[in-house]
Amino acid sequence: MALNEPSKPDKVVDINLARTQAEDKALPKPPIIDETVVKNKDEVNATEPDKKAPTIKEAAPLPEQKDPAQRGRPAKAEKPTKESKPEKTPKPDKPGKQKLAVVGGGSGKATPTKEPVNITPEQPQKPKRAPRHSGGSKISYINLSELQPFKNHPFSIRDDAEMKALVESVKIGGVNQPAIVRPLEDGGFEIVAGHRRQKASELAGYFEMPCIVREMTDDEAILAMTDDNLRQRSEILPSEKAASLKMQFEAIKHQGIHLKDIAPGDIGKRSIEIVGERNNMIGKQVQRYIRLNELVPDLKKAIDEKKMGFTPAVEISFINPKNQNLIAVSIDGQQSAPSLSQAKRMRELDQKSLLNGDVIDGILCEQKKEVDRVIISGEELNKYFGKDKTPQEMKNQIIKLLDEWAGKEKVITATERKPELAI
């Protein structure tokens, strides 16, 4: 530069303006929203209503421009406030749960507080209609008051555990198997099969039960009644079985004219065999059970309560009823039941008209001797052999098994007694 040239004036810079421009550059630019993109997204969201539509955040507003002449750091932009969440409504208390309340200060333990409950006495329920069962069978729902028990029904209805279980079953699902009834001439119906179901329906609170009405003769009704009870009942008393078998025998004997190729004199014998076949019994067993019907009521009760054995009771059934009553009194007083040999002696004395109360007491007071034989009834043997085996075949098989068992016992005994070898 020449000395004589005049110096150029310096450039004047506005400091406040420069600072403001620098701050504007530092601030983020708001995003540019493409309206076409947003429109396409809205259309996609409209076609997919199950999916949650994404939200587009709005750009934060730019801070207000301050006066350039104002010095100092600019104020920070206010943060967008979050939308307040809706208040949760309290859930109702579940039934059966107890509310907890904090008792005492500082312990922090919650103790249950029971609200007072007003207990109202249960009112007896009125009888209601029995449940109907769907199906093609023609079933009539008959009022229980129109049903009458079978004439001379030999089976009693006991209030035992089996009956209680039946009542509960009827309460839940009604009577699953309809009763069988037949119409009476004077009106109403006679129950052929279903006496226990009728009682269970009454105890369950029903005034009716499903029944199948059939026209049946007396003999047909007896056979249907005895078959149903002998097959369905799990516990049958000896006196009940004796009465039902006798009723079966009489009904089959009345139908003897329908038995082919049987002489009139053999109808009774063949009827016993038919009864045995119907009940899986041999003929002699049927005859012995039928003999129990000749016992006086007190002796029937004694055999039902297992105070007297079955075989001695069969022997006593041949004694006249007057002496039978004396035997029942002696059994109750002596608390001793007659053995088979004592029953046979009393039977022989009764046939000679030498049996009386003193003789009966003297016989029952005797000390019973040990019997040197074991008696296994045919009913017990049928469990293992069936009806096809003859008594001789059963005997041979039993002896064979006993011989094999005895041989094994000898081998075991010899092994245990074998001396140890010296070392």
pLDDT in tens, 343-366: 999 999 999 999 999 999 999 888
Are 142 and 226 found together in one domain? yes
pLDDT tens digits, residue range 267-279?
566 788 888 888 8
| pLDDT at 34 > cutoff 60 | no
Task: Please tell me whether residues 278 and 314 are part of one structural domain.
Answer: no
Q: Do 181 and 197 belong together in one domain?
A: yes
Q: Which domain holds residue 185?
A: 128-233
In terms of pLDDT, which residue wins out, 22 or 289?
Answer: 289
Whether residue 204 is predicted with pLDDT greater than 80 in this model: the reply is yes
> Is pLDDT at 321 greater than 60 in this prediction?
yes
The reported pLDDT for the residue numbered 388 is 75
Residue 375 maps to a domain = no
User: Are 220 and 157 in a shared domain?
Assistant: yes
User: 345 is written with which tokens?
Assistant: 């002696």
Please report which confidence band the pLDDT of residue 256 belongs to, taking 50, 70 and 90 as the band edges. low
Question: What pLDDT band is residue 85 in, cutting at 50, 70 and 90?
Answer: low
Angle among Cα 348, 352, 354 to the nearest 5 degrees reads 95
Can you tell me the distance from the alpha carbon of 267 to that of 276, in angstroms, rounded to the nearest whole number? 14
301 plus 279 within the same structural domain: no
CA distance 41 to 53: 9
Domain assignment present for 17 = no
Residues 323 and 312 occupy one common structural domain: yes
pLDDT at 354: 93
Share the mean pLDDT of the chain. 74
- The number of domains in the chain is 3
Cα(21)–Cα(163) distance, integer angstroms: 103
pLDDT at 420: 45
341 falls within a domain: yes
If DSSP codes are grouped into helix, strand and coil, which group holds residue 163?
A: helix
Residue 343 forms part of a structural domain:
yes
Residue pair 255/219 in contact (Cβ under 8 Å)? The answer is yes
Identify the sign of the CA torsion 408, 413, 414, 419.
positive
The Cβ-side half-sphere exposure at 333, using a 13 Å CA radius, reads 13
Please check whether residue 410 lies inside any domain of the structure.
no
Residue 70 is given by DSSP the state -
The H or E element that residue 25 is part of is helix 15-26
Query: Is the pLDDT assigned to residue 49 strictly greater than 70?
Result: no
- In the predicted model, is pLDDT for residue 369 greater than 60? no
In this structure, is the dihedral angle defined by the CA atoms of residues 359, 365, 367 and 372, taken in order, positive or negative? positive
pTM, whole model, 2 decimals?
A: 0.52
Q: Which residue has the higher pLDDT, 391 or 337?
A: 337
- 217 secondary structure, DSSP code: -
The predicted structure's pLDDT at residue 29: 59
In this prediction, residue 377 carries a pLDDT of: 73
**339 and 360 inside one domain:** yes
Q: What is the mean pLDDT of residues 128-147?
A: 74
- Residue 175 domain flag: yes
The verdict on 262 and 167 lying in the same domain is: no
Q: Would you say residue 167 has pLDDT above 80? A: yes
The answer to whether residue 96 sits within a structural domain is no
- Of 64-78, 185-199, 311-325, 370-384, minimum mean pLDDT range: 64-78
**Which among 345, 365, 385 is the end of a domain?**
365
Distances (CA, A) of 60 to 30, 80, 363, 365: 7, 7, 121, 118
Element (H, E) at 166: helix 161-173
Q: What is the pLDDT of residues 90-124, one digit of tens each?
A: 555 554 444 444 444 444 555 555 566 667 777 77
At residue 76, the pLDDT reads 56
CATH number at residue 203: 3.90.1530.10
Please indicate, yes or no, whether residues 178 and 207 belong to a single structural domain of this protein: yes
pLDDT, residue 73, reads 58
pLDDT value, residue 12: 54
Q: Are 276 and 347 members of one domain?
A: no
